[in-house]
Structure 1
């Protein structure tokens, strides 16, 4: 049983890297067999379809990214610092992203769109979880008096995620980290304006 579980995890981990770098449509079952060293019959022993592998792979990749963000947040003492952690883990997205291929959420959302309902639904769930985590940080910042009262929590979370994903996309496209790094600087300045002034 332990060997079987390890094999399943191996398939998921390797497939996650493949999908995040080549995309779902650009990755075939043959690619998965080559990467894992497991024949198709072996793959089908653990998964009913490529879709099932893709869903598990997305969860796996997202879990690794979330762990990186959580570890970055642990180093922060302010709500603003924790919010910026989402972007800072991608500060070197071109050479050293938290997961090979960049942001799993961005990659899946861009590829699936309306063409693949199952994967689109998983991307949407990932977006909602990320926005939810950001909203909680913003709300905690308001409750502690760090952020100004009356902020539109939903709007600020959406803005933060948009700045993050836009910076990642532009940096990946150009092959230069300057876009995500400029967005980190710009968001930092913007959030400073949302903070209470203390004398």
Structure 2
């Protein structure tokens, strides 16, 4: 029964994705989604409390697994520098993809109009960067990084990794992303971070 329930939930997410793609987040409604599914709104609300919640699930299904791969690039046995470089490179490959940029633009647009922004943040970036903070804390405790607030350190690392690309990508100034340039910027970000948090 539980398997069927999850299959139905995933089918609802797939239908909702079609609705959002066709008429956008603002134009979509729970009534439209339930009509496409062929059930009642009450059934849809049994699975999702709001349009925002189902949209978050759609976005996570579309891009969440890619971020999971990036955040899984670290393991405890890693040399700090090499581990962070692998993470930075994976992260840039994913966060600059057109579909991810589109989600980020949409979340920012609706951030002040609905609960969409906070919900996406809690289910997406916050979870991922919490894992990175946990890795950094372990390395701090091992004496391989200077002791500090690991959450702040994770956010500083993210800022360094994104710094050369995010604004120009979000504003569509840059559309081509040469692999060698991404690699070089990842290396610069890691060097700056390791220098900042070198043991002392």
- Smaller-chain TM-score bracket: 0.5 to 0.7
Q: Between Structure 1 and Structure 2, how many residues are aligned?
A: 185
Provide structure 2 residue ranges, at least 5 long, that are not aligned to the other structure. Answer: none
The runs of 4+ residues in structure 1 deviating greater than 6 Å are none
Matches within 5 A, 1:43-122: 44=41, 46-48=43-45, 49-61=50-62, 63-74=64-75, 77-93=78-94, 97=97, 101-102=99-100, 106-107=104-105, 109-116=107-114, 118-122=115-119
CA 1:39–1:113: 2 relative to 1, 3 Å? closer
CA RMSD of aligned residues (A): 4.1
Instruction: Report the counterpart of residue 186 of structure 2 in structure 1.
Output: 184
Instruction: Report the counterpart of residue 158 of structure 2 in structure 1.
Output: 161
Correspondent of 2:36 among 23, 35, 39: 39
1:123 and 1:154 mapped to 2: Cα distance? 19
Report the TM-score, using the length of structure 2 for normalisation: 0.65
Task: Give the deviation of 1:80 after TM superposition.
Answer: 3.9
CA 1:39–1:89: 2 relative to 1, 3 Å? same
Report the TM-score, using the length of structure 1 for normalisation: 0.65
